Amino acid sequence: MGEKGVKSSNSMGLGCGGWRWACSSGSFSASSNSVVLLGFLLVLTTFGSLFAWLTISPFGRPDTGLVGGCREDGEGSWSIGVFYGKSPFSLRPIEMENLETNMSSARPVANPVFTCASVADYRYPSNFVADPFLFIEIYLMPEGNKKGDLRLYRALEFPLRWTLEKVLIKKPLIDATMIQYEGYYWIFGSDFTRYGTEKNAELEIWYSRSPLGPWKQHKQNPVHSRDKSLGARNAGRPFIYEGSLYRSGQDCGETYGRRVRVYKVEILSTEKYGEVEVPLGIEESKKGRNAWNGIRYHHLDAQQLPSGGWIALMDGDRVPSGDSSRRLFIAFTGLTFVVLLITAVGFSVGCVMCMLPTSWCLGSNRRNDTICVWVQPQFSLKLRKCLIVFNRTSSSLQGKLRLNTCMGKSILCILSTIGVVAVCVVVSFLFGGNGAEEAYPFKGEYSQFTMLTMTYEARLWNLKLYVKHYSRCASVREIVVVWNKGNPPDVREFDSAVPVRIRVEKLNSLNNRFKVDPLIKTRAVLELDDDIMMTCDDLERGFKVWREHPERLVGFYPRLVNGKPLQYRNERYARKMNGYNMILTGAAFMDGEFAFKRYWSEMAKEGRAMVDKFFNCEDVLMNFIYANLSTARTVEYVHPAWAIDTSKFSSSAISRDTGAHYRKRTSCLVKFTDLYGPLPAKEWEFGMRLDGKMGEKGMKSLNSMGLGCCGWRWPCSSGSLFSSSNSVILLGFLLVLTTFGSLFAWLTISPFARPGTGLVGCREDSEGSWSIGVFHGKTPFSLRPIEMENLENSLSSAWPVANPVFTCASVADSRYPSNFVADPFLFIEIYLMPEGNKKGDLRLYRALEFPLRWTLEKVLIKKPLIDATMIQYEGYYWIFGSDFTRYGTEKNAELEIWYSRSPLGPWKQHKQNPVHSRDKSLGARNAGRPFIYEGSLYRSGQDCGETYGRRVRMYKVEILSTENYREVEVPLGVEESKKGRNAWNGIRYHHLDAQQLPSGDWIALMDGDRVPSGDSSRRLLIAFTGLTFLVLLITAVGFLVGCVMCMLPTSWGLGSNRRNDTICVWVQPQFSLKLRKCFILFNRTSSSLQGQLRLNTCLGKSILCVLSAIGVVAVCVVVSFLFGGNGAEEAYPFKGEYSQFTMLTMTYEARLWNLKLYVKHYSRCASVREIVVVWNKGNPPDEREFDSAVPVRIRVERLNSLNNRFKVDPLIKTRAVLELDDDIMMTCDDLERGFKVWREHPERLVGFYPRLVNGKPLQYRNERYARKMNGYNMILTGAAFMDGEIAFKRYWSEMAKEGRAMVDKFFNCEDVLMNFIYANLSTSRTVEYVHPAWAIDTSKFSSAAISRDTGAHYRRRTSCLVKFTDLYGPLPAKEWEFGMRLDGWDA
């Protein structure tokens, strides 16, 4: 490798089957014509070798064949790059971000980030490292309060196996969250174990450059130490919105986790922290304990969606912290108080006394003090005296209290009132649960319904009470008031927890209650008259029953229609007959969309007229409509715990005259039967449901509560408990307490057991029972609960799906019951949708143990869709893909769309399929998954016009529905490289995957290739075609000069009629006579040309020159395509990474022509980031004059000094700088090899021109002398890589001031000075040589070079050596030998 080993082309076997070399005189070397042919061959060989020397590097790539995974074929060798930007249309390659990694010594990290060499598996070599998608590594950071430290775990087989990655912080941080922001990773958490810390009132911050640490404490820790209601404790992970960081904190003032507060971080550095509170944007529910998060919510996890909108998870609880313990304490305290109160009343009326054994009695000195107290020997005398005083006081009160006096009666009434209140408290807290009338889930989901009532001005007082009560029910979404008559009230008059909408009607008609209302956003509608009051629990039970059978009318008032003639019967009669076949719609659930449309259909027109005529019967008509549109059951009854009809207290009810009301309804029955047919003859029995006999009221009795006091008994003075009037008073007191307690329980406690109580996974404790809800919004500060999105789920018969979406009942594991379903984080289910072209269908797989085990989830589409991608947009899931198996389809020119409501299907074809059938250059074939930006959908497509995957085109989808599709092309925003094959994606890029980061910025992956499709096959075809042509050309020249003839066995010969035609052709018996004649004609023509062509004539020489020129071109083509690879001078990776360097050259006006050539050539090198031109003298050119593939920056200097080339330049964005004089031309491959060597040793000067300094006195020696001595200790910086930041600062330090003066004095020696600076700041090796394939010094053709007088140039440098040695000490005495590298690059 020390000498240039160019592959020779002379060894190529050029010949023609059956031909040999001869001459007319029988001697090959004696003929002048043979000399001509040898000269022709020599010209071809010489020019071919020269071309190979100039174009083919003699140095093999060190990574060629080393790493498994690379295999070149007709598709070239793809690789993948990363791009960043503020939007998906302003993406810049990763190198523009100036990122640095620990693996690489250079910065910035550059594209490509993943190549075929990254696939380290020789068993499965590949070249098609393309079609990239962003991938997630899953980590877990559990809370640290139990372990005493904060740990990070990594998923081995998600979600089953985890491994400890690292202990991050050795402190028990609670609610710790991590986020990356402005170059650092930050952990926010609280440590309540520190001495003097108030719980929930302090916040700490830790920071690091890497998520794996090391982690350092913030200088202000704790950054918050304040009132615990001000959100110091974290309430979820921070998020970034519009470039600002926001943190959520828990308000723990009233109770633990009372609410979430959000803070905007105004200052976050390693030394300072500041935040201000901003509105959360989520309205607190007014439903109190009936709402799933009505009392507290303490965790928010908000993330931005690809659409630009936001989604958040929030937990919630309907009770405060410690609620169950508090309820038990209050209940048993109240129970104790009731027992003491009853005992006190018994003492007061003389019906309670202490009966203990006589041996325990202590007599009194007084005659009437016949008392008995509980005495034990260990009791002190003082205690005995206290008991005596208590007994005397009790006896005194008995004497003074006379029940027939006003005072006695008043005291008894007061005690009764206190007792009633105490009993109610005991009943409420002991049997009333948490006081919430919760919603009932159906198949694990919650939903909502709209309440609709009809009223008018005279019943406004009733309506206000109605709205206040029912708006607090858990599942009520909205209350719609149909206002039939009078002036409607202002909605602000109502005390409501949900929106109230008043729909004013022009006509006072009962039909208005069933009018189609497009503003109703729920499927379920509860029609409930405004004069009916019942519990929220009754409504929730009715709603659950309706969700089980949404095709039915589900209500609370059953009726029976039977008899001949038909009679309208009330509930009492229906219960007597144990059956019903009608439900009053004045209190019934129905499918609003279905029922209202049918009620207002043409079929029901006459029925509606009857309703207007009688001002009655609208509910009867609805029952007939339901019954006669289905043969199945259409009504179902739900028994309310209680119901109060407030119309009984008003004169405004339409049914107050019961007789007339029933007669009208009977008339309606007859008419409706004639119009629509009879109601079902079958009567549905009461008590058919299995959930607690919904048809019969199963009231829990409170009479069985055993209320007593240990040690007390009930006597009377005459020996009989019931014979004493005082005992009757005490019994009456007990009866009052029991009656009011039972009435209170009947009103407040539902007799129906909740079907969800005690289900798997639920356990109530002092923390209540948390659950989790989902919120959506355009921003993280305008989030709305999921029910406002009107989403529908196939599992649920009602819509919308409502919060909570996850409760303790969702934890289906009875072994580990829980109530603390809280602190939610968004979780990703991993699916895989591989391409369908090989299987004949499109399949969806789900990860069982990611990434090792997968299971087939479903076959989505039975078509072999290619490049299929799925996205959710405007209520549908969409699949974009191409099917090229269809007859008549042009490959890469068609696009199909499929859509579904669920990602699991069923999938339907778009009506316009194929939505595109056009020129394949117009991006019909997908180029990655679509994305959403600023609310619009964008699709990327492949331009396959010039070659497969030539480039990515971007299209904005203007119309996307199930029937129409339209898109328009928009600029991609990624600038194509001008470096051609030298760039990793210079020839084609065909896949883009863009996603938005939490910061609001965008990241994208893009693949790329440096060669077109089929390049290797094309190169081989051209090479062997050229080789064949070259053989034929040489043979033709041989014929023309008479040095080639056909010599075959005589037995195959065929004589000619002419004397001189001594020819020999290849004859086989199977050859036809015509073929033989062709050979004869060819031979005669050749002989004729030989006779006419004279090499000493002008024509002969011209033809020979033309043939020589053609031959040279053919040789160059063969050499290039056979040995030159793909023609790219690629970058060399270091530790699997690529980087970039800045080129810096110094010049002036006289060398402008040289500079333009320099820029055009080197700007195409793969790793060149920028070219900086230090302009020392004259008028600088316009940067637009240069034909450059990278930015060119001209730095104009005031003084013409060689020191300028090392001036500190803060605009240089790379660590590596290549100082290369503008008069040196070498290959890009040489530069790339030098850059790789420098990355291995960035502390060295790595260059291409070695020098040796030795002798006494010191002498400056050239490369020839250095090679003779086989050693060097200096590298010329006119062609060398260096660490620009370190080298330039050292060169312009105070230490080098005298050296710089010497450089200005001699206008020379700046590279010598740099070598001295490097050498004397390190004891290790500081220079390294890289042998270039070739280098041309264009200064030899110019008079502008400063070193054109070599003698004077060397004398000046020797003078500098002496001076610099005095100033900085000698250069290293050790000389570094040539050929020390294993790759032969320094030979």
**Catalytic residue IDs:** 1311
Residue whose structure tokens are 């036809």: 1072
CA-based radius of gyration for the chain: 48
- Token look-up 């330090």 returns 1293
Half-sphere exposure of 630 (CA within 13 A, CB side): 16
Give me the sheet containing 1168-1175, strands edge to edge: 1192-1196, 1168-1175, 1141-1147, 1216-1220, 1279-1283, 1245-1247, 1327-1329
Residue ranges of alpha helices (H) inside 321-456 are: 323-348, 381-400, 406-431
- Give yes or no for a contact between 1314 and 1206, defined as CB atoms under 8 angstroms apart: yes
- Token pair of 6, please? 């160019």
**Minimal CA–CA distance to 1200: which of 1184, 1178, 1231?**
1178
Alpha-carbon gap, residue 1371 to 1321, rounded angstroms: 11
Distance CA 25, CA 2 (A): 47
Return the closest-CA partner of residue 1304 out of 1205, 1203, 1221.
1203
Residue type, 1339: S
Beta bridge partners of 533: 644
Q: Of 436, 441, 438, 482, nearest to 463 (Cα)? A: 482
Give every CB contact of residue 681 below 8 A, 6+ residues apart in sequence: none
Euclidean distance between CA atoms 843 and 1368, whole angstroms: 72
DSSP three-state, residue 1006: strand
Task: Answer whether 272's CB lies under 8 Å from 336's CB.
Answer: no
Cis-peptide, bond into residue 903, ω within 30° of zero: no
* The residue count for the chain: 1387
Tell how strand 635-637 and strand 1192-1196 pair up: unpaired
**Residue 1248 in tokens:** 């291409």
Q: Which residues contact 1350 (CB under 8 A, 6 or more apart)?
A: none
Q: How far apart are CA 1079 and CA 676, in angstroms?
A: 104
CA distance 1259 to 1241: 28
The secondary structure of residue 1368, as a DSSP letter, is H
Q: Where are the beta strands (DSSP E) in 563-678?
A: 567-569, 582-583, 587-591, 635-637, 643-645
Rounded Cα gap, residues 1218 and 1163, in angstroms: 13
Measure the CA–CA gap between 6 and 778, rounded to whole angstroms.
65
The Cα 1281–Cα 106 span in angstroms is 11
Residue where the block lists tokens 């005659």: 367
Say if CB 228 and CB 213 are below 8 A apart. no
The Cα 190–Cα 175 span in angstroms is 7
Q: Between 1098-1123 and 1015-1040, two packed helices, what is the crossing angle to 10 degrees?
A: 150
Among residues 179, 236, 225, the alpha carbon closest in space to that of 202 is found at 225
Q: Which is it for strands 300-304 and 273-278: parallel, antiparallel or unpaired? A: unpaired
d(CA 319, CA 768): 6
Burial class (CB in 10 A: 0-12, 13-18, 19+), 1173: buried
Tally of CA atoms within 13 A in the half-sphere of 935 that contains its CB:
3
Q: Is 94 helix (H, G, I), strand (E, B) or coil?
A: helix
d(Cα 103, Cα 1160) in Å, to the nearest integer?
A: 32
